[in-house]
Amino acid sequence: MAHDHHHDTGHRHGHGHHGTDIDWNEMGPLLEAQAELFAPVYERAMAWLAREVTGPGLIVDAGSGPGVLSCLFAEAFPGARVVAVDATAPLLERARARAVRQGVADRFDTLAGELPDVLDKLEYPADLLWASRSLHHLGDQRAALATFAERLAPGGTLALQEGGLPSRFLPRDIGIGRPGLQARLDALEEEWFGRMRAGLPGSVAETEDWPGLLTAAGLEHPRSRTFLLDLPAPVTDRGRAYVVAHLSRLREGVGDALDAEDRATLDRLLDPSDPASVHVRPDVFVLAAHTVHTAVRRG
Ligand SMILES: C[S@@+](CC[C@H](N)C(=O)[O-])C[C@H]1O[C@@H](n2cnc3c(N)ncnc32)[C@H](O)[C@@H]1O
């Protein structure tokens, strides 16, 4: 799913109850809305990157989806060409349309194909290769990172957005059901994530030591920093819509594994006619923490 910190609990389709296939095309609007809500986080992450990555000629957004971040990169680095890379061609069409709307189309390209191999088609090595929440959808993350690193120019930077903290949208005790619902949903989501990874083609179990993996890919100077999205209550309409979408996807993806009381609570939270629902309740907020890990190819 188009979701927050590191997982993407998908819709069920065709694989029964606990299916982990994700229909990325169907998720386009959600990915877009989410990335737009998180834009302040990405802008701060890009300002942090810009301190080390000076005057990049080519920025590659690997697993760009609909290109919200790709376009933010084009704005943050006005001297750079940006290539959005993704396996889902219709999402790249959205990315291109966005680049046109934002007036950056003259230095914006798309490349459709499966990561990591599609990167062989890049004409030039990247000065900055960014992969947000896409690496964990590739079966062999270590091998993918080695390919990412090979596609860097000397002195180029690889930046991953992986990990962070589970997001919070509600107080621990919301006055209905048993307190701590979100923590229990997190636990189910972790299990879902494990099944999702195990079901990927060529799946390889990997310790998620991102700085260690970046170093193992031959890169130097690993650094990690976490960026916070803090939208306190009363939340904006956009923030509320994100919470509704996120909890709806969790209901669909893992809700049946909740116990009956938690399931009933989640259903009330999602019922627009219920005064306790996240559609109307005043205590909804968005608190999310995303981590970016970088490392550099020797110059
Ligand atoms: C969770 S979305 C992240 C989108 C965007 N980077 C963001 O942070 O908003 C993951 C993206 O990775 C793409 N993806 C997943 N598996 C892929 C693969 N094997 N090759 C290329 N792209 C892939 C999906 O199409 C989707 O757009």
Q: Domains of the chain: which residue ranges?
A: 28-296
* pTM of the complete model: 0.94
Q: What is the 3-state secondary structure (H, E, C) of 34-90?
A: HHHHCHHHHHHHHHHHHHHCCCCCEEEEECCCCCHHHHHHHHHCCCCEEEEEECCHH
Nearest CA to ligand 1 atom 8: 132
Q: Which of 137, 141, 197, 292 to mutate to test the pocket of ligand 1 (most atoms within 8 A of CB)?
A: 137
CATH annotation of 28-296: 3.40.50.150
CA distance linking residue 1 with residue 21, whole number of Å: 10
Q: Which atom of ligand 1 is nearest to the CA of 91?
A: 27
| pLDDT tens for the 299 residues of the chain, in order | 333 434 454 433 333 334 688 999 999 999 999 999 999 999 999 999 999 999 999 999 999 999 999 999 999 999 999 999 999 999 999 999 999 999 999 999 999 999 999 999 999 999 999 999 999 999 999 999 999 999 999 999 999 999 999 999 999 999 999 999 999 999 999 999 999 999 999 999 999 999 999 999 999 999 999 999 999 999 999 999 999 999 999 999 999 999 999 999 999 999 999 999 999 999 999 999 999 999 999 98
CA distance linking residue 1 with residue 9, whole number of Å: 5
> What pLDDT score does 291 carry?
98
Give the Å distance between the CA of 131 and the centre of ligand 1: 9
Give the Å distance between the CA of 92 and the centre of ligand 1: 11
The answer to whether residues 47 and 26 touch, using CB atoms and an 8 Å cutoff, is no
Cα–chain-centroid distance for residue 72?
A: 15
Give the Å distance between the CA of 61 and the centre of ligand 1: 10
> What pLDDT score does 16 carry?
35
What are the pocket residues of ligand 1 if the criterion is a CB atom closer than 6 Å to any ligand atom? 8, 24, 31, 35, 63-65, 69, 86-88, 91, 114-115, 132-134, 137-138
CA–CA–CA angle 258, 261, 264 (5° rounding): 85
| CA 286 vs CA 74, 129, 170, 243: distances in Å | 27, 28, 8, 8
The answer to whether residues 164 and 45 touch, using CB atoms and an 8 Å cutoff, is no
Q: Which of 6, 31, 88, 134 to mutate to test the pocket of ligand 1 (most atoms within 8 A of CB)?
A: 134
Tell me how crowded residue 121 is: count the other CB atoms within 10 A of its CB: 11
